[in-house]
C-alpha cells in the first residue's frame, strides 16, 4: 500500500495529518481513518456511510474498493477503503468541530489536490512529486494564452503570477503586495516615475489632447474623464514598445521555467520580477512613490474639466460632419 500523510486542515492545536492511500488518481481512507479525521467514534462513520448509500447519494460499487493494507503485525490484509467522494460526503454529514474545519478546508483545497495536483501542502511543494508533465504542459498552454491576450502589460505579469504559482493564494499578504506594486515597478524601471507621478508630469489641459497619446474611443473622438487617470494613455509608441518588450521577456522566462518543469511559488515570482529588472539594467522601485493614485486622479480630472470646455468647442460630431459635407455639396438646406 502506497501510503502518504496529508495535512487536511489546521486546528489551534496544530496540523491534522492523516495517512491516506493515493491510487488510481484518487484518495482513499478506511472508516477508522475517517473517524480520526472527523474526531468521532467509528459507529458514527459507519452510520453515515450506510445512509449515504441507502439514499442514493453515492453508489457503493463506484466509491468503495478493496486494497492490501499493511497491519501493525507487518502483514498485508485485504481492507475496504472509501474514495474522496465518500470522504467529502461523510465530512458534510458529521457534526463536530473538526468536521466543520474539514469542510472549510476541503472546499478550497482537497478536490484540486486530487484532480489537478495543485495542493497547498508545503511538504509536497518542496519535493514537487505531485507536479508531473500534465501540470507543466497545462502551464505552457496558459502562458501562451496570456501572451496572446489583449490584457494590459502589467496585467499579463499578474496573470503569470496567478496562473503559474503552485501555491497561489489570492488572499495572502505576498499576493496583495505583488498586485499593489507591479504596475509602478514597471513604470519606474523605464521612466523613473510611478504611474501616478507619470500622470501628474504629463497631464495638461493646454496641450493637444491634454497630453494623452491614446484614449478609449480613439483619434477623432472625444476624450472622456475615465481616460485621463490611466497612465498608459500618456505613453508614446516608443515607450509602449519598451514596456511590451519587458513583458515579452518575462513571458519568455515563465515559458522556459515550465518547459524545464521548474515548480514556481508566489515568493519565487515576486523575487524574480525584481531580479529580472535588475538583470536587464533597470532600477527597482523601493517605495510607493511621492504621489498617490488618488492625488494623480484628482489632478487629472481637474485638468479634464478645463480641457472639456476646449474640446466641446473644437469637436465635430458625426452629425456636424454630415451637415458640413451636405452644405458643401448643396444637397440639403439648413
Q: Which three cell numbers stand for residue 143?
A: 502562458
Q: What is the mean pLDDT of the chain?
A: 81
Mean pLDDT of 7-12: 54
Identify which has the larger pLDDT, 71 or 79.
Answer: 79
CA distances from 62 to 50, 56, 59 (A): 14, 12, 5
Per-residue pLDDT for 280 more than 50?
yes
DSSP 98-111: HHHHHHHHIIIIIH
Highest mean pLDDT: which of 32-36, 118-122, 203-207, 250-254? 203-207
pLDDT for position 311: 87
Element (H, E) at 221: none
pLDDT for position 324: 58
Per-residue pLDDT for 127 more than 50?
no
Mean pLDDT of 263-268: 89
Coil vs helix vs strand at 319: helix
- Pairing type for strands 14-23 and 26-28 reads antiparallel
Identify which has the larger pLDDT, 313 or 299.
Answer: 299
Q: What is the C-alpha to C-alpha distance for residues 42 and 100, in angstroms, rounded to an integer?
A: 18
pLDDT for position 111: 55
pLDDT for position 112: 57
Per-residue pLDDT for 48 more than 90?
yes
141-186: pLDDT as tens digits: 888 888 888 788 889 999 999 988 888 888 889 999 999 889 899 9
Q: What percentage of the chain reaches a pLDDT higher than 90? A: 31
Which residue, 212, 203, 189, is CA-closest to 276? 189
Sequence-separated (6 or more) residues with CB below 8 Å from residue 161: 168, 175, 178, 179, 182, 266, 269, 270
Beta-strand (E) ranges in the chain?
Answer: 3-11, 14-23, 26-28, 64-70, 76-82
Which residue, 109, 131, 132, 129, is CA-closest to 120? 109
Q: What's the whole-model pTM score?
A: 0.54
pLDDT for position 16: 60
- DSSP tally for the chain: helices H, then strands E: 15, 5
DSSP annotation of 26 reads E
pLDDT confidence band for 243 (50 / 70 / 90): confident
Amino acid at each position: 500500500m502506497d501510503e502518504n500523510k496529508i495535512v487536511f486542515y489546521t486546528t489551534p492545536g496544530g496540523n491534522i495529518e492523516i495517512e491516506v492511500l493515493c491510487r488510481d488518481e484518487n484518495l482513499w481512507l478506511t472508516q477508522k481513518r475517517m473517524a480520526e479525521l472527523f474526531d468521532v467514534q467509528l459507529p458514527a462513520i459507519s452510520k453515515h456511510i450506510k445512509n449515504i448509500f441507502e439514499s442514493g447519494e453515492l453508489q457503493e460499487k463506484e466509491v468503495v474498493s478493496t486494497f492490501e493494507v499493511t497491519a501493525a503485525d507487518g502483514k498485508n490484509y485485504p481492507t475496504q477503503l472509501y474514495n474522496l467522494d465518500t470522504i467529502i460526503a461523510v465530512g458534510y454529514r458529521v457534526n463536530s468541530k473538526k468536521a466543520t474545519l474539514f469542510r472549510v478546508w476541503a472546499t478550497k483545497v482537497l478536490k484540486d489536490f486530487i484532480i489537478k495536483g495543485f495542493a497547498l501542502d508545503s511538504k509536497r511543494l518542496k519535493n514537487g512529486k505531485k507536479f508531473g508533465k500534465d501540470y507543466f504542459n497545462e502551464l505552457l498552454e496558459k502562458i501562451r494564452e496570456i501572451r496572446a491576450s489583449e490584457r494590459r502589460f502589467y496585467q499579463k505579469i499578474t496573470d503569470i503570477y496567478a496562473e503559474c504559482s503552485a501555491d497561489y493564494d489570492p488572499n495572502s499578504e505576498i499576493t496583495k503586495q505583488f498586485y499593489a506594486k507591479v504596475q509602478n515597478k514597471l513604470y519606474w524601471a523605464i521612466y523613473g516615475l510611478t504611474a501616478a507621478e507619470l500622470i501628474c508630469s504629463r497631464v495638461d489641459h493646454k496641450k493637444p489632447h491634454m497630453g494623452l497619446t491614446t484614449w478609449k474611443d480613439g483619434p477623432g473622438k472625444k476624450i472622456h474623464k475615465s481616460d485621463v487617470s490611466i497612465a498608459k494613455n500618456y505613453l508614446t509608441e516608443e515607450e509602449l514598445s519598451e514596456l511590451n518588450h519587458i513583458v515579452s521577456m518575462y513571458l519568455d522566462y515563465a515559458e522556459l521555467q515550465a518547459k524545464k518543469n521548474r515548480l514556481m511559488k508566489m515568493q519565487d515570482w515576486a523575487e524574480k520580477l525584481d531580479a529580472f529588472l535588475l538583470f536587464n539594467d533597470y532600477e527597482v522601485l523601493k517605495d510607493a512613490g511621492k504621489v498617490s493614485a488618488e492625488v494623480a486622479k484628482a489632478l487629472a480630472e481637474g485638468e479634464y474639466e478645463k480641457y472639456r470646455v476646449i474640446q466641446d468647442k473644437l469637436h465635430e460630431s458625426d452629425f456636424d460632419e454630415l451637415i458640413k459635407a451636405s452644405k458643401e455639396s448643396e444637397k440639403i438646406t439648413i
